[in-house]
Amino acid sequence: MSDSTAEVCILDPALEKVKPTAIVIFGATGDLTHRKIVPAFYHLMKNGRLPDGCVIIGFARRPKSDVEFRAELREAVGQFSHTKPINEAAWNKLAARMYYHQGDLETPADYASLEAKLRTLPESKSYQRNYLFYLATAPTYFGAIAENLSKAGLAPDENSSDVRRLIVEKPFGENLSSARALNKNMHRFFPENTIYRIDHYLGKETVQNLMYFRFGNSIYEPLWNRRYIDHVQITVAERVGVEARGGYYDGAGASRDMLQNHLLQLLTTIAMEPPASLEAESIHDEKVKVLKSIPILSPEKTLQRSARAQYGAGDFDGKSYVAYRSEPKVSPTSLTETYVALKLEVDNWRWSGVPFYLRTGKSLTKQFTEINIVFNRPPSVLFAAVAGAQLRRNCLRMRIQPNEGIHLNFNAKVPGRSQIQLVDMDFRYREDFGSYLPEAYETLMVDALAGESTLFTRHDEVEQAWKLVDSLRDAWASENLKALPTYPCGTMGPLEADDLLSKDGRYWLPVTDD
């Protein structure tokens, strides 16, 4: 492997739009910064995708020197980078552009001193007054940060050409009313077109490819409707439990942590109509139409079409795991779901009558994300003698992670026998495009710097998704349960999730190693 700074040449039109920018990370000593944000910037530097003149300023409460800050982040990159060994030339070049600023998120004076620092850093003549603010903090601070930035003269100015953008992490609110209030508060200081709400799933190369796959291939789009598709399955499975996140997770659960954002974003990408263009607003418009086309059902029907559970104790991979209620910082009487399965329908001309089955959970058999498009069963009378009463359904399986790829199975005759068997046509990203796939945060950082918002979520998308999740949680609250069903660690979830499909004459497709 070459030891040059740019090891991989990646053509990216967004880079042409990137201006030298000062990137300020609020919450710079936190886990997200260490695990995702700084490793992403390191990879951008290594691959020649971070333009000269960009600097990174960490903003956090603890006293720390620039040298100490850089040393901590070097350790984090060594631990969390997805390529090893670390390219020291690339890291040193990035570290030379990293600074630390001590400040309290709710103290206006600390933002005034930040503004002064931004004007006087050695690179300030390069990035001028172009700023990207990354809010890697708890959502309770989003409004205060936006207001304090405005007080310090760091918010967008309609009379200036300076770039001022804001990246916010999920969760964006905890329900519809809080999301609306947060949007309203932040819009006082930052217009909508300067706010970039991250859902890191949208940054994954395989998720981006879904739209190109659908609309860039004439053989699939004519089949993408209720006439040919029986149902759709979307699975986001996590192998780990809550680990050290019990304090956060017990107030969120799978519905808020995963369903409201990741799963519904995957659904809208699969179900959307062809946009008028590839511009961000056109794509967001079509996604919002999908969410608005999902009916809000009565609590009784919602309960019939959903399942929730908590993981119990279990043994797998040679280890013993405790039940969710026994995890640190989790209430022993918690009713927070670690698993949710849901049946939704998109009531429009393309999809009416086609169920979308969504599921996500922790402590499951394996870690993977995939979408299965299950087509209608063909007539089997011609092959009754060799295929029994029914032929198997064709399925288009899109593996988002790991082992990214697209697989189409179809019925074929077994050579030398009067039998029919399902076989696969495979596309694997790493085989066709090489071993390097950019991490989601790498793509999202470049897009935010370039002002490209397609892979971020718009305010009305967020609110419409919360409307659906709120109706689900309201239905659950009406049950007045004292305990949730459980499933053993290392399984694919509770029996109630299987029943959700079996009563419709369907089943969850088997987990594969692809």
Partner residues linked to 372 by β-bridges:
233, 397
Buried b (16+ CB within 10 A) or exposed e, 112-125: bebbebbeeeebbe
Q: Which amino acid is at 47?
A: N
Catalytic residue selected from 101, 262, 407, 459 = 262
Distance in angstroms (rounded) separating the CA atoms of residues 2 and 8: 9
397: phi then psi, degrees, rounded to nearest 5: -105, 120
Say which DSSP state 509 is in.
P
Distance in angstroms (rounded) separating the CA atoms of residues 250 and 324: 10
For 238: left if phi > 0, alpha if psi spans -120 to 50, otherwise beta; the answer is: beta
Distance in angstroms (rounded) separating the CA atoms of residues 398 and 406: 5
Handedness of CA 360, 361, 362, 363 (dihedral sign): negative
Distance in angstroms (rounded) separating the CA atoms of residues 258 and 265: 10
Q: Provide the token pair at 468.
A: 């659906």
231 noted as active-site residue? no
Closest among 81, 143, 151 to 110, alpha carbons compared:
151
| Upper half-sphere CA count for residue 137 (Cβ side, 13 Å) | 24
Distance in angstroms (rounded) separating the CA atoms of residues 434 and 212: 19
Q: Where are the alpha helices (H) located in 188-325, listed in sequence order? A: 205-215, 246-249, 253-254, 264-271, 280-292, 299-304
Closest among 360, 259, 307 to 484, alpha carbons compared:
307
Distance in angstroms (rounded) separating the CA atoms of residues 28 and 100: 9
Q: Which amino acid is at 109?
A: A
CB contact at 8 A, 469 and 453: no
Active site residues: 262
